[in-house]
Amino acid sequence: MIIRIGVLGCANIARRSMIPAILQLSKHFELVGIASRDGAKAAVFATEFACKPYSSYEELVDSPEVDALYIPLPTGLHKEWINRALAAGKHVYAEKSIASCEDDANAMVDRARAQSLALMEGFMFQYHSQHQQVKDLLVSGAIGQLRHFSSSFSFPPLPDGDFRYDDALGGGVLLDAAGYPLRATHFLLGDEFEVMGAALHHSQAKGTETYGSAFLANRAGVGASLAFSFDSFYQCRYELIGQTGKLTAERAFTPRPDFSPRLLLETAAGTRVIVAAADNHFVKAMLKFYEAIERAEERDALYGEILLQSRSLAVIKKLGLRSRESVQ
């Protein structure tokens, strides 16, 4: 079955990565059209990708020619447009974070579940094959029993006026960079890790949270330390420390499709560099979306990821705000 898909918005990630991935999967998807509130911009995108321009979001959402929507809009616009898309009977793949708060995420999942619609949050990094290699090494005992996990996703300040500084559009580091190490924790180590503590810095100059950290743990006493920032030296990695070694993914979240990331396995015998194969996680994420459209068990798994992610982010926010108040 070919899924007819439309793109709701002309974001850079859509042009650079996701639309090319959709076009590569011609046996799975047909790109029907692209919508923008700026008709001229929609026309430019549609010409570039040989599809139909839609001069409003409403026109694409309501189109009977479309089965599914990819939504790369800012998080602050998701509540309206994801819910409208689901109400119109469309499967939805939306960029992270899928919702501005836990209640909104719960409502989206409830609506999608009731209508047997796929709803997926765009953390495509987890479909890169390097992470399966990490899991295989852990299972094989390459570093012994796990003792600690740490991960960071941080980058220098964004340009003034960037929408990620605008809370009305779902801005702030928590709904952006923080999501990656948080998702990595649960994706690699399991759902039982719960948020135990957090810190968030609110920038008066930027008007939103710009960096922070969180600590998660499971009942076995294994901890996970996360760092995230819009205002620091670039970091895009995670480390797993075990009884007998350490395993590091150097470019965990943003490897280009033509880039071969390195894994470092350190033990008493020395350091082994494992060069992972180049992989297109955008294509693989779209394949996962296709599977969720076709199979209920895949949809349920994606619902669970959304609920766990949104619940954990809500706890980080609550504890982070509390910690900030306690030091003022």
Q: Please give the positions annotated as active site.
A: 96
The Cα 171–Cα 207 span in angstroms is 10
Query: Could you give the count of Cα atoms lying within 13 Å of 250 in the half-sphere of its Cβ?
Result: 11
SS (H, E, C) 308-327: HHHHHHHHHHHHHHHHHHHC
**Separation of CA 10 from chain center:** 18
> For the chain, where are the alpha helices, taking DSSP H only?
12-13, 19-24, 39-49, 57-61, 78-87, 102-114, 129-139, 179-189, 281-294, 296-326
**Separation of CA 85 from chain center:** 20
**Separation of CA 154 from chain center:** 15
How far separated are the first and last CA of the chain, in Å rounded? 58
- Asked if the bond preceding 97 is cis, omega within 30° of 0, the reply is yes
The Cα 25–Cα 12 span in angstroms is 20
Amino acid at the residue 168: A
Enumerate the β-bridge partners of residue 3.
29
The Cα 94–Cα 96 span in angstroms is 6
The Cα 199–Cα 324 span in angstroms is 7
